[in-house]
Amino acid sequence: MIGAWLAEAGGPLLSGPPTHLRTVEADKDMNQHVTAETGDPVGIDSARREDVVRLVNLKRRFGATAALDGVSLTVQKGEILGIIGRSGAGKSTLIRCLNGLERPDSGKVFIEGREISRLGERDLQPLRRRIGMVFQHFNLLSAKTVEDNVALPLKIEGRPRAERLARAAELLQLVGLSEKAKAYPASLSGGQKQRVGIARALAARPALLLSDEATSALDPETTRSILALLKDINARLGLTILLITHEMEVIRSIADRVAVIDAGRIVEEGAVWQVFANPKSEITSSLLGGIRPQLPPEIASQLAAGEGAETILRIDVAGEAARRPLLSELSASVPGPFRLVHGGIDHVQQQPVGTLFVAIPGSDAAHLAAVIAFLKDRGARTEVLGHVAGSV
């Protein structure tokens, strides 16, 4: 049953043969498609069909505030893209432009290759069904049972009750809540409510699951189980997921790629492990602050410029560099004992990513330059944090 759904989950927006079977002639036809409401030709992005979402230079202002200031990004079929930013960064505006609730001032939104930015409300309806939404506060209907909540999108589509209930049962099994089909939302825990929210989001077989701070109202343990569920659905069904969050831990747990948004701009984008290993922007470093090792404050407070008995280095390693016997190589190259003060190697997307804080004897500039060059040669990034008078 899930196999049949898999075939449908990423199916084409318009009825007809799957994307990869369409002929050039059919593509030409699609390019001729005309919206019912405006009569304008709808742009079909034939070169980028594997992008479930493509945003091109989106701009949206509210008075003096640029909520979106030229956002371009893609979500590829089957991937989990995380968009992270602080409050006010532009995340909600981006979501509203994606589901057509907000019109960008300029720029284009493509969903499964179709440009939606200029569609009228009537043409937007079927498109919205291609996006399943999961919300922070679940948005369940309290007067309806769990199974009726899950089946709601199908009721809106006018599907027969038997079909709706069969689909709800299938989805409740997927999210591990079969025994709650007849229960009401008030009797469920937060985690269970979100499982119902996820099942409902999947009911109409969307091409994209859009998760808007889905775990922000949940405790850490429940958050982990909901993220594991989303990852499992992505892996088993190949479902494309766009996650909006302000928490790097969420990105770290399940995203393949991350885009960092700040003041309406994407300031950084890349594979999660690479962005974690080498953040380019201040905002990314700051968002990573809580989950990458930092020098403990009692040591940081003793750091001074100039000279000292020891120099504290921060060494960032990732990928191949983190698999090398770096510390023994450093030991062989640096005279005198050196000490590991703090840090460790983590794993992000199965890649080692680590930060080591090391104290080396003395503060001779030429010697330090040689150490840094040595580490650079082995693929590590090194920063001199300062000097300490004695052992820390």
Which spans of this chain sit near ligand ADP (rule: CB under 6 A)? 62, 65, 67, 85, 87-93
Q: Quick one: 93 or 192, whose CB is closer to ligand ADP?
A: 93
Phi, psi for residue 58 in degrees, rounded to 5: -70, 130
Q: Please check whether residue 322 is in contact with residue 378, taking contact to mean a CB–CB distance below 8 angstroms.
A: no
317: which 2 tokens? 């390693």
What is the closest distance, in whole angstroms, from the C-beta atom of residue 85 to ligand ADP in the complex?
5
Q: How many other C-beta atoms can be found within 10 angstroms of the C-beta atom of residue 205?
A: 21
Residue 103 C-beta: closest distance to ligand ADP, Å? 12
Q: How far is the CB of 23 from ligand ADP (least distance, A)?
A: 41
Cβ 382 to ligand ADP, closest distance in Å?
Answer: 35
Instruction: For CA atoms 266, 270, 274, 276, give the dihedral sign.
Output: positive
Which of these, 245, 244, 250, 242, lies nearest to 226 by C-alpha position?
A: 250
Phi–psi pair at 218, nearest 5 degrees: -110, 155
Q: Compute the least distance from the CB of residue 218 to ligand ADP, in Å.
A: 19
Residue type, 170: E
Shortest separation between residue 383's beta carbon and ligand ADP, angstroms: 31
Nearer to ligand ADP, 76 or 92 (CB): 92
Residue 259 Cβ vs ligand ADP, minimum distance, rounded to whole Å: 13
Choose between 67 and 348: whose C-beta lies nearer to ligand ADP.
Answer: 67
Which residue, 157 or 212, has its beta carbon nearer to ligand ADP? 212
For the chain, the distance separating the N- and C-terminal CA atoms, rounded to the nearest angstrom, is 61
CA-CA distance, 198 to 188, in Å (whole number)?
A: 14
Q: Where are the alpha helices (DSSP H) in 238-347?
A: 248-254, 272-277, 282-288, 297-300, 320-323, 326-333
For residue 19 the two structure tokens come to: 């994307």
Interstrand relation of 80-84 and 240-245 (parallel, antiparallel or unpaired): parallel
By beta-carbon proximity to ligand ADP, the closer residue of 84 and 152 is 84
User: What length is written for the chain?
Assistant: 392
* 85 vs 354 by CB, closer to ligand ADP: 85
Instruction: To the nearest 10°, report the CA torsion of 325, 331, 332, 336.
Output: 180
Place of tokens 């005279």: 335
* Residue 283 CB, nearest approach to ligand ADP (Å): 12
Minimum CB distance to ligand ADP smaller for 82 or for 354: 82
Q: Residue 70 gets which letter from DSSP?
A: E
CB of 208 to ligand ADP, least distance (A): 18
**Would you say the C-alpha torsion 262, 101, 232, 236 has a positive or negative sign?**
negative
Under the phi-then-psi rule, with left for phi > 0, alpha for psi from -120 to 50, and beta for the rest, what region is 205? Answer: left
* 58 vs 226, beta carbon nearer ligand ADP: 58
Phi, psi at 46, each rounded to 5°: -65, -25
* For ligand ADP, the closer CB: 89 or 251: 89
